């Protein structure tokens, strides 16, 4: 009888380990979807960000030009940011006044070196040295890209690297 009592906790632990392993092995690639058609989920942060290597500040809500924008949160220390960079360059070539950057928890010199190496796809780059602005956006980890409509509403949130599918989604929203 005592042996069966010892097997119960081990069995429970094994079941928990298997379920956790399956969740880690096959995570969902999340995007920022609307709950219902036309429902506003979340407004872009009202925070102002210092402009990289310049005087002044930038706000993303609402976009100053009155058109949708894409805001890419990135860092020089982020390996996936390097991987997605060619697609950001392509996006900026097609929508030069609508692609903005936000350097997340990064040193100014390192950010400038990163952009000198790979190219600068951004119209303007804000800095978020303490990471609070990223939290205001809902950042879970760099890179992430947010599309903000002309009214200042986040209409798309791409977690992780931009791929060809998400690039098409971003371009469709920037064309509106």
The pLDDT of residue 84 is above 80:
yes
**Residue 12 to residues 4, 15, 16, 69, 130, Cα–Cα distance (Å):** 13, 5, 6, 49, 41
**Partners of residue 51 on adjacent β-strands:** 126
Q: What is the dihedral of CA 77, 163, 115, 52, to 10 degrees?
A: -80
DSSP state of 131: S
* pLDDT tens sequence across 4-44: 676 777 777 787 877 777 776 665 554 444 444 444 468 99
Which residue, 77, 61, 95, is CA-closest to 143? 77
Q: How far apart are CA 67 and CA 74, in angstroms?
A: 22
- Confidence label for 81 from pLDDT (cuts 50, 70 and 90): very high
The pLDDT of residue 1 is above 70:
no
pLDDT of residue 27: 57
Which residue, 149, 97, 129, 109, is CA-closest to 157? 149
């Amino acid at each position: 009888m005592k042996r069966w009592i010892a097997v119960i906790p081990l069995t429970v632990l094994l079941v928990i380990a298997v379920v956790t392993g399956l969740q880690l092995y096959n995570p969902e690639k999340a995007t920022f979807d609307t709950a219902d058609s036309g429902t506003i989920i979340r407004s872009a942060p009202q925070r102002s960000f210092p402009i990289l290597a310049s005087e002044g500040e930038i706000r993303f809500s609402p976009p100053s030009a009155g058109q949708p924008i894409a805001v890419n949160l990135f860092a020089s220390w982020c390996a996936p940011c390097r991987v997605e960079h060619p697609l950001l360059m392509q996006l900026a070539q097609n929508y030069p006044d609508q692609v903005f950057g936000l350097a997340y928890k990064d040193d100014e010199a390192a950010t400038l070196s990163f952009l000198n190496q790979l190219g600068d796809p951004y119209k303007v780059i804000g800095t978020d040295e303490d990471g609070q602005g990223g939290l205001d956006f809902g950042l879970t980890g760099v890179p992430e890209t947010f599309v903000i409509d002309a009214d200042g509403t986040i209409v798309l949130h791409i977690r992780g690297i931009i791929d060809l599918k998400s690039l098409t989604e971003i371009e469709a929203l920037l064309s509106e």
